[in-house]
Amino acid sequence: MNNPNNRLFFLTGLLAALVISVFLSPFASTNPDGLDRVSEDLKFNHKEADNPPAKQLPFSHIFDGYALKGVPENLATPVAGLLGTLATFGVAWGIGKLTIPKSNDSP
Amino acid sequence: MLGDAVIMPITSLYLGMHIPDGFLSFPVSLGTWVMSIALIAMALGRVRRDYSERAVPLMGVCAAFIFAAQMINFPIPGGTSGHLLGGTLAGVLLGPWAGSLVMAVVFIVQAVLFQDGGLTVLGANIFNMGLIGTFGGYYLYKAIRMVVGFNSWRGMAISVAIAAWTSVVVASLFCALELVFSGTVPLQIAISAMLFWHIIIGIGEALITVFAISYIWRTRIDLIYDPPRRFPSTLKRS
């Protein structure tokens, strides 16, 4: 990681993910996707819980699905994408860091 | 809230193959939780034992990329859409063990922060969309790559494409069976309906996965879990 080439590579990767989640997310298809479509066609979409447990979490005051609450509609999804991508990056990095012992790389 | 009525229709678009709370029965939810937790526990053990610390930043970037890519639904013919699942991508890049941890993180963040996929059925979602790709997709890719050409890009591309497509189709089959065992839908129509769309969505999965792997292959081939034989592995413990 101290190698500048490494740093550049990983920064490029993270930047690509941020560009996708911020600038491409508004262009995502609004068609129902696979399971949605099947649940509509086979008429079991009503079984979806109206008030699922995730809506009781404090985060549901901040996000309504992939939309930040309280900001203009055209910003809500890009900002949610930005924050979600950074959160995912941080959690996965942290789990890797906590799991892999430093001694694994000492000869 | 005033904005909720406007935002509501947008949020429901992002369900994906993400099962919401209410679709699965308690025994099916519990069974898939147990399978996912067992595989993740095993993955934690293997990552602790076998991986180099150099894998850590790649775990972060891979998770971020798959989270971002899952937001982008692509339209398919027939008024439906699909998005990348990413299990095979994570498995090919990071190996099945770190790949599984990365996929679990993606689905946990989606369910906890963004209410995408139910919390009670998170075990099923991690299993279907993550672990089927990181384990099933990975071992299928590896077997095909051994046959077609382990060290050539041609062997890599063909094996990755087939494994990625298959992982989506198998994931949709598992999802259908979970719905059937939960008494949500009858067997015959659940399987044919899920397969019909995901046979097409899987093509998107194959294209995106091959594209992402081709970038790493050209720029940092050593960061692939199983690099061609002439390259040293950076991710595995030396």
Q: A46: buried, middle or exposed (CB in 10 Å: 19+, 13-18, 0-12)?
A: exposed
CB contacts < 8 Å between A and B, how many? 269
User: How many domains, in total, are found in chain A?
Assistant: 1
Which residue in the set A42, A85, A99 is minimally distant from B193, CB to CB?
A: A42
Residues from chain A that touch B1, judged by Cβ atoms under 8 A, are 69
In a domain, B14, yes or no: no
* Closest approach of A40 to chain B, Cα-based (Å): 11
- Residue A107 forms part of a structural domain: no
Q: What is the tens place of the pLDDT at every residue in A69-92?
A: 999 989 999 999 999 999 999 999
A45 or B51: whose pLDDT is higher? B51
Find all residues with CB under 8 Å of B225, minimum gap 6, and list them. Answer: B92, B93, B94, B95, B99, B233, B235, B236
**Residue B24 is which amino acid?**
L
Q: Say which residues have a Cβ less than 8 Å from residue A69's Cβ, sequence separation at least 6.
A: A61, A62, A63, A76, B1, B3, B7
Under DSSP, is residue B216 helix (H, G, I), strand (E, B) or coil?
helix
Q: What's the CATH code of the domain at B83?
A: 1.10.1760.20
Decide: helix, strand or coil at residue B86.
Answer: coil
The share of chain B scoring above pLDDT 70, in percent, equals: 93
Strands B74-76, B80-82: pairing is antiparallel
Compute the average pLDDT of residues A32-54: 90
- Note whether B7 contacts A49, CB cutoff 8 Å: no
Judge whether B202 lies within some domain: yes
ipTM at complex level: 0.94
Work out the average pLDDT over A42-62: 91
Q: Considering only CA atoms, which of B199, B207, B216, B205 is closest in space to residue B84?
A: B205
Q: Rounded to whole angstroms, how far apart are CA atoms B200 and B174?
A: 17
Span B46-62, average pLDDT: 97
Is residue B24 within 8 Å of residue B179, measured between CB atoms? yes
Does A90 lie at the interface with B, CB-CB under 8 angstroms? yes
**pLDDT band at A106, cuts 50/70/90?**
confident
Residues of A within 8 A of B53 (CB-CB) are 100, 102, 104-105
Rounded average pLDDT over B29-45: 98
CB contact (8 A) between residue B64 and residue A89:
yes
- Cβ contact A54–B53 (<8 Å): no
Q: Lowest-confidence range among A42-56, A85-99, B62-76, B132-146? A: A42-56
Q: Which residues, other chains included, contact B34 with Cβ-Cβ below 8 Å and sequence gap of 6+? A: B123
Residue B107 has pLDDT above 80, yes or no: yes
Confidence check: pLDDT of B7 > 50: no
Q: How many Cβ atoms sit within 10 Å of the Cβ of residue B149? A: 16
| Per-residue pLDDT, B2 | 38
Q: Is residue B100 assigned to a domain?
A: yes
The pLDDT value recorded for residue B15 is 52
CB atoms within 10 A of CB A28: 22
The shortest CB-CB distance from B14 to any of A66, A70, A102 is to A66
Instruction: Evaluate if residue A61 carries a pLDDT over 70.
Output: yes
pLDDT over threshold 50, residue A4: yes
Indicate the pLDDT class of residue B11, thresholds 50, 70 and 90. very low
Q: Is B233 among the domain residues?
A: no
Identify the pLDDT of residue A32: 86
Q: Which residues of A touch B119 (CB under 8 A)?
A: 52-54
Determine the structural domain holding residue B63 and report its residue range: 25-223
Shortest distance, CA A74 to any CA of chain B (angstroms): 10
Q: Which domain holds residue A60?
A: 4-97
Domains held by chain B: number:
1
pLDDT in tens, B68-103: 999 999 999 888 999 999 999 999 999 999 999 999
Contacts B76 to A, Cβ<8 Å: 31
Band of pLDDT at residue A2, cut at 50, 70 and 90: low
Within-domain flag for A73: yes
Three-state SS letters, B161-214: HHHHHHHHHHHHHHHHHHHHHCCCCCHHHHHHHHHHHHHHHHHHHHHHHHHHHH
- Is the pLDDT at A107 greater than 70? The verdict is no
On whether residue B162 sits in a domain, the answer given is yes
pLDDT > 70 fraction of chain A, expressed in percent and rounded: 97
| Distance from the A28 Cα atom to the nearest Cα atom in chain B, whole angstroms | 5
Average pLDDT, chain B: 92
Residue B116 has pLDDT above 60, yes or no: yes
| CB pair distance less than 8 Å for A88 and B62 | no
* Residue-averaged pLDDT of chain A: 92
**What whole-number distance in Å separates Cα of residue B65 and Cα of residue A89?**
8
Please list, in sequence order, all residues whose beta carbon lies within 8 angstroms of the beta carbon of residue B67, skipping any fewer than 6 positions away: A17, A21, A84, A85, A88, B106, B109, B110
Residues of B in contact with A31 (CB under 8 A): 13, 73, 75-76, 79-81
Range B214-223 average pLDDT:
96
Report residue A58 as tokens. Answer: 């404090």
CA distance B87 to B104: 10
